[in-house]
Chain A
């Protein structure tokens, strides 16, 4: 049953992504103020949700679990690394689609605005995390050091979230999670936006799982190679 769920995840994710694209591009109406450019709202916020909160958050939680002696497992470290890699993909998409939206609405591809800059910093931190991991040969040291880096990087998450409140920014404020809980999107536009969040969340689960399985297989292969090298050395010294 569990296997069936995992097998269905890929096709369900693909269908929900295609449905989001179809509804977003051709079914939803033009927005009153932003016209067709508002159709990017079915991509950009959901990509930011996955890149900033879901993937990065999963990597941070898994890193915290790794550093906690009771929950320290090699698999937890691999989950952190896998989620961080997926986070890089979605952070890049967040920045690119935001930039594409910014050009016709703000008149510039990029502005050194608090929200944009803090998101770009997060993308650099996530890339730095992956580069830092590859600088260690020893898996235990690699896991410990990168977990610490992930926890330090987590400081940036509330900065991104509250940047539109703390500073006067070009980036618009919240559309759904507004302080007064007054939702500014309705009808099929709201449902399509909700579907985009579901689709990208499923996409994150699928990608992180597949990336984790690849990383686990690589680690098993490395362990097997090490064991056979030790056995070969022992038989040489015994002979």
Chain B
């Protein structure tokens, strides 16, 4: 199950990180 959790964690970290980057850039714009 560790591999499965690993896949979900990597997805959450990458998507969350990219979303944070986008929201940060958008906030700086305003």
Minimum C-beta distance from A106 to chain B (A): 12
User: Which residues of the other chain, A, contact B18 by a CB distance below 8 angstroms?
Assistant: 89, 207
Could you tell me if B3 and A101 are in contact, using CB atoms closer than 8 angstroms?
A: yes
In this assembly, does A54 line the interface, its C-beta being within 8 Å of a C-beta of chain B?
A: no
Q: In B1-30, which residues have CB < 8 Å from any A CB?
A: 1, 3-8, 10-12, 14-15, 18-19, 22-23, 25-26, 29
Determine the distance from Cα of A217 to Cα of B22 in the docked complex, in whole angstroms: 13
Determine the distance from Cα of A207 to Cα of B14 in the docked complex, in whole angstroms: 13
Interface contacts (Cβ under 8 Å), in number, total 57
Tell which of B6, B11, B19 touches A207, judged by Cβ atoms closer than 8 Å. B19
Could you tell me if A217 and B7 are in contact, using CB atoms closer than 8 angstroms?
A: no
A interface size (C-beta, 8 A): 27
Residue picked from B4, B5, B23, most chain A C-beta under 10 Å: B4
User: Which residues of the other chain, B, contact A39 by a CB distance below 8 angstroms?
Assistant: 4
User: Which residues of the other chain, B, contact A17 by a CB distance below 8 angstroms?
Assistant: 15
In this assembly, does A21 line the interface, its C-beta being within 8 Å of a C-beta of chain B?
A: yes
Minimum C-beta distance from B19 to chain A (A): 7
Tell me the B residues contacting A by CB distance below 8 Å.
1, 3-8, 10-12, 14-15, 18-19, 22-23, 25-26, 29
